[in-house]
Structure 1
């Protein structure tokens, strides 16, 4: 008997590495290279290595600022498009070894990877396939050998790597030709040397959300067509030259729906491919002194966080060190504010004080399971019961403005539509209407005083699963 569409969709589930990655939720990017000292966003590859000369580099300060901001890890631009390496690569002289930094004995990758581990943060690497300095670029196999050599240095010399981040920039070489990247060879190298690392953006594990401004989709599906993983299309759609308008563009209307039943019904091949939202804490990806007073306001960071982490994606926030080699004081202050907001807002789950009941429940899958933030236990309904209510009651009214809902995504992404209702003097009143949940949905609404909340699942694929509910 053929499977129904919904039965087919819920067979698509994440790998363990994808689960680990999404559970990190919020982590940082460190953009740092010769561009920091030339005041540019993209280098030409012709810069003198001696221009790289941070006077007070403090990777411990970077890691501590990230930790205070609530981040779980940091990804370093070990080599950007200019080809300058932040570690002493044996494959090129265009690196810290030819700079005045630490007398030519420095290794920024080493310093940051060590600092991350001291702070309990994960460490990841960005390595640009486009290298505007390497004379082998656009020669095919010879350049791929060079790139693989550098990739192996990073994957074997700096401990566990949680993420290898590839973008799709692919410019022309000196002869007007472009390099055809051997993506599958790159992936094989990563899987062999760092099997737990996710390969992001131009990779099979985590997809780019489609813009660099922090904009999000109202319905972010992780079950999408296999063709979404087409790295050549990602490369084509990625930024090909420094362009401020590109950095600020939004998601196009045609890209808003990637995983609805209507989109997927005629798709033969499906994959689990969760989204990452990436943006910078200030307008540029690299540090520019003129932007010191243009750090994103706290309210904007909260909005992006609650729409990304709270919208079934992860949040990658860039923190560019300045020419000293330190995260600027304004950026650090904003991060500290944001970390305090997260800790204060989500510190106490008021669900602990509530009684729970459900109008329909799969045997052995009690609503009591949603109290613990875990994928080991969960609430569910029998197959086919796609409409259900979980009721939360308190002895005394409480103030509520945030409800966190998490599915058990080990069993795929199922919830299509839900609403939250709060009991007020006018009876049960809708306070929030949402579509997908996935890994996490943060339902944010104006504070309401209530002694009863109802999570009403209006539609789901086969049956809903709910692993956790938080009331704040």
Structure 2
């Protein structure tokens, strides 16, 4: 009798995997991919020599002794991730500079050669142990590009990299995700490498057969096409894998949306940093993304059928900075509040076109909290209505819908409506669902809510529906400055009181109150915070960093005034413009310590640059600073560059030397600022 009951329970628990009457559709996920999708949210950690040199892409020529965290605490990383509600951690075990966070036998550029723990340390050993302690999954990023290794650019290097993969996957326990960056630049010998991806993948799968590979082409999961954290509003989990390879370029839009009839299941992963850059820099301590911004990212990733990989860069101590961890806890509290009570569980749920003859398929399973139970429409029916009815009106502003993806992604379009009197009013219309789709809606009150599947590739199979009432947030202040140096601050929240500071301190209700635009012609930082409810509640603090107001600046280069007018308009050349010069007259001699280049997100992004200075606009000498804007194509944020020492000049000349995208030979500058 006990055996019979146990068998029944096992069959009930696994019934979703064995439904011969529901034919799977299209490419399907593996069991490992289904488990991966259910993780939803986990941590990225960028850490290495770049942490100590303020670079995004190191050149591989850094002295390994520069890596010397004074208080490294991997348990603090894991504890923070756990408290934030994350399910795992992926760390940059080896970035493009070739530096290994473990003492690799196949490199001389590792923690073994560093000053940290006199060369006896092993970051991967400490982090993998911390992940096990806190019940987190452990993942690794290893870049095949190596700007240090002497074999890079030769056939031997592929085996070197495979050996490093083998080291990492055999020494540190289970690895849930292997992150491959497709970057392929020149090594120390000036050569590029032809990567053997088959060798790399087989080396890993021989050890961890269920590992999820991340790359532009998967095979486990794919890059979402940007580094801002947003999946496409339409997002298919399938892709024609044969058409893609890591780092191929020109495919960002396709990766963002997926392909409806793709040959393989390659779901999206949205990677984004909590700061402007990927590695820690003290200069960005005041630029941690705000809570509303992070919530937007969450709903634009997890809420659009993608997983969210949020980067939290470890600082020079070897710890997560308080600003980052504080914001993570704020995000956790906000998400807990948003999804505290599923109002659908109080509803009477009914559905049309329900598949008949199977008691295991029913609308009653749609709000039972069990992903492996579901409602399904009959064969040949690609539409259906799910109605939630209440005895008393409910108020909601979030709707969540999930498909049962082990049987394929099916839904092409769906809508949400509410009954007003005798008429149904549509309040949302969207496209794909996939593993999870969450809609943010205006506060709505109704007794009947209808979720309509409008179009599907085959009979829809829906696992869960949910309604929530999320608290309203206080909108963050928006700080801007015009060309004359007048600063304006506004916010979308009703009746806010805004306070600000100019000395880098956190605004309080005792700080100056913003009442009208004020003048700040010099370089500096404006910190602003909005307060409501007599100062009892406040927004996130916004730090706006400004260069010298360009009131007296003049573009010597014809037609280039848009690059210095503080409007974020862009100066853009025609095709085949490289090298291109942008010369600016500062109006008078000024001491310049730094400059920033804001790329135009619509194209013409500069990668390699040089900046010259002059007192007369004729004699320029050698560049005051030159280099590259690392990763600017994928992360087109303002690039802040410090000069090695301050210079006094009246003219500056920005020279664009190489494009970030070889196919886009225009030069474009949204804003060039000096500090």
**TM-score under structure 2 normalisation?**
0.64
Q: Distance in 1 between matches of 2:239 and 2:53?
A: 41
After superposing on structure 2, the runs of 4+ consecutive aligned residues of structure 1 that deviate more than 4 Å are 254-257
Question: Residue 345 of structure 2 contacts residue 368 of structure 2 at CA under 8 Å; is this kept in 1?
Answer: no
Per-residue deviation, residues 294-323 of structure 1 (Å, max 9, x unmatched): 111111111111111111111111100111
Give the paired residue count: 443
Question: What is the SS of the residue equivalent to 1:455?
Answer: strand
Q: Distance in 1 between matches of 2:434 and 2:248?
A: 29
1:339 matched to 2:332? The reply is yes
Q: Distance in 1 between matches of 2:428 and 2:201?
A: 42
Where do 1:181-200 residues align within 5 Å?
181-200=195-214
Q: Per residue, is there more strand in 1 or in 2?
A: 2
Residue matched to 1:179: 193
Q: Distance in 2 between matches of 1:91 and 1:359?
A: 62
Per-residue deviation, residues 73-124 of structure 1 (Å, max 9, x unmatched): 1100001111111111122231111222122211111111111122211110
Q: Distance in 1 between matches of 2:458 and 2:259?
A: 16
Q: Distance in 2 between matches of 1:315 and 1:384?
A: 35
Report how far residue 257 of structure 1 moved.
5.0
Where do 1:20-99 residues align within 5 Å?
20-99=35-114
Aligned counterpart in structure 2 of residue 300 of structure 1, from 272, 293, 296:
293
Question: What is the SS of the residue equivalent to 1:467?
Answer: strand
Residue matched to 1:236: 248
1:271 matched to 2:264? The reply is yes
Where do 1:271-420 residues align within 5 Å?
271-363=264-356, 364=358, 365-420=361-416
Question: What is the SS of the residue equivalent to 2:38?
Answer: helix
Report how far residue 223 of structure 1 moved.
2.2
Q: Distance in 2 between matches of 1:139 and 1:372?
A: 57
Q: Distance in 1 between matches of 2:255 and 2:372?
A: 34
Question: What is the SS of the residue equivalent to 1:277?
Answer: strand
Report how far residue 29 of structure 1 moved.
0.6
Question: Residue 27 of structure 1 contacts residue 73 of structure 1 at CA under 8 Å; is this kept in 2?
Answer: yes
Q: Distance in 2 between matches of 1:357 and 1:148?
A: 54
Residue matched to 2:139: 124
Residue matched to 1:428: 424
Q: Distance in 2 between matches of 1:255 and 1:118?
A: 35
Report how far residue 427 of structure 1 moved.
3.9
Q: Distance in 2 between matches of 1:188 and 1:323?
A: 35
Q: Classify 1:122/1:257 alpha carbon distance in 2 versus 1 (closer, same or farther; 3 Å).
A: closer
Question: Residue 24 of structure 2 contacts residue 407 of structure 2 at CA under 8 Å; is this kept in 1?
Answer: no
1:164 matched to 2:178? The reply is yes
Higher-RCO chain (CA-CA 8 Å, sequence separation at least 6): 1
Per-residue deviation, residues 5-27 of structure 1 (Å, max 9, x unmatched): xx999231111111111111111
Q: Classify 1:413/1:298 alpha carbon distance in 2 versus 1 (closer, same or farther; 3 Å).
A: same
**TM-score under structure 1 normalisation?**
0.90
Q: Per residue, is there more helix in 1 or in 2?
A: 1
Report how far residue 214 of structure 1 moved.
1.9
Q: Distance in 2 between matches of 1:165 and 1:185?
A: 15
Q: Classify 1:257/1:47 alpha carbon distance in 2 versus 1 (closer, same or farther; 3 Å).
A: closer
Question: Residue 152 of structure 2 contacts residue 189 of structure 2 at CA under 8 Å; is this kept in 1?
Answer: no
Compute the RMSD of aligned alpha carbons.
1.9
Unpaired runs of at least 5, structure 2: 1-21, 469-675
Report how far residue 256 of structure 1 moved.
5.9
Per-residue deviation, residues 128-183 of structure 1 (Å, max 9, x unmatched): 1011111011111x111211111111101111110000010111234432111110
Aligned counterpart in structure 2 of residue 206 of structure 1, from 221, 231, 245:
221
Q: Distance in 2 between matches of 1:388 and 1:465?
A: 10
